[in-house]
Structure 1
């Protein structure tokens, strides 16, 4: 590593012949020598380069070597550069003492001792190269530490994501087991009850009216199971980018009316009424997927609407169709309004804990696939209004 570090040397003297002679003594393959014939020229070079050693002539016109050394010691960039003074003055002038006071590390008298000059310069060059090597090692260690910190942060983030995924999986399995068990338990009880009647020969329990009621209950339980399975399949399609959208000409008002008609039994069970204010709006959408959107929003309104009336409206706004589903139930807090569109999330401020928490997540994805957007406007205790905007002709 040391052999690859080049040292820069600065020599300052007002006589060109002295500069040439001194450079001839100290030049080498592992170093680069810069010459300055004045203190001003030297200062310019000092600000441009990082020097391993500065050799200054004491007696120069204008600013002398001692004054240049004082400036170097007062500047952050140059205060650590070793300084060696050179002077032709006699020893009796005590220049050496003044030089050391100015921060010099050595003082040489002319005529120069060739061996002394070359050996001392070599020592300073080697010291500089060792300092640079240590500096590079420290920088490499710091870079390695930063990389390790970054890697550790990434590992921690990954660990948190994995822990979240595990919690979501556990929550999902818990919710699924509960939601699937509910319709299955209903079917199981109906089956056991019918078997009990058959075993006792109680054929009066199977009149046409009672069989119709049994069939309707069975249909509701089967539809619940089918809806759960379809929701899980849709989440899988969304994750893999395989949620298909097949647009055809659709009248949104007719579609909403059809979905509401299919919800008659749920509306009766929930003790809830619906008012429709729909205008014919035709656009190019996937009818099956939009039925899912309306059904999910209507299910949500019945679930959290506190048996209050639900209002559904459809209107055209420019080149957009606007669908609104409003309930007058428990409402949604501002902190929950974004969270409810995530997977397996449900309103936290209520004891109502039905469904997988996938309906609004799937709804948002379907709306986004039609290049539309969905918003919710709500306050706690003031009900909620879900507004869906769809371009009439999404590309």
Structure 2
């Protein structure tokens, strides 16, 4: 029995297969990543109120997160390809809560802006490294399991939202709240790092030689901008991530300012969104295998648009919560499908293909939440959500183009 087997047997209480331990470890880091983001998303309203920000000012600040993510794109895929996703994930999963805690310490707008920029970098590094691990595990299983990984992320967001409601009742400050994430990150890394894949997807293919694209300098690897298939996947991810970003950053504000929910209910929309997002991701793989990716993406776009339409049309606690739940169900499978399909690219290494899709997709995070702030300032938050409705609907129209570009 080797060291790895001993660790697995001692930790889990019984010997389990290596591939199952890989899957559990990857899921644990997805869970941690989801908890961290829910910590931030559920405290945005508190930070907005504490700093006395208007909707437009908040929108401008939220713009800083995807700017940081976008600035990290040129080197995140390269670092994962060069040093391996396990090493980059080890660094980024510690850097992530430190960046988060800096947001809790911000007492001035400029401090928050700097903190959000570095938080965005941390998000991108975690995103690329953890999804590269997931692609590797999926290839070992030889079937679709990517949506389940993202379901764990969403489940963590849902549970994090519930926990946040209680933590706020206890009177914890954002910094104290975010510090709990730091403790959880250290514990997860200690117990789960030994079970991560030591080599990424390309290295798992029975000693296959490196492709020409893997041998080229990093700047030459950005050929995804000429790959129609990757670009379409990116734009589908863009539509979904615009809606996700809106829910993450503005759902609590929407319940506070438009729905006029009392303080104990303003997180209900976020919780409903995350609960259905998690549920949808745990079911998505079965639907994909039964109906195919294109039909699932089309149906998802329709669900997104329907949910936002309901929430905008009838801004009450129950109806808006139902609408946000439909949005969560709609976005649940899109990004996991995009990442999974990108990981199967025959033209690009996994890390670079994922970078290509996330580069375009994260423009949705880049443009969506700030756009909401500026439109809200001019026309009201309901009108801003109606605009995002159209972005979500575009996903359904782009899906059929995937088949033509394969």
**Structure whose alpha-carbon radius of gyration is higher:** 1
TM-score range, shorter chain: under 0.3
Q: Which has the higher strand share?
A: 1
Compare relative contact order (CA 8 Å, sep 6+) and give the higher one, 1 or 2: 2
Q: Which has the higher helix share?
A: 2
Question: How does the TM-score come out when normalised to structure 2?
Answer: 0.20
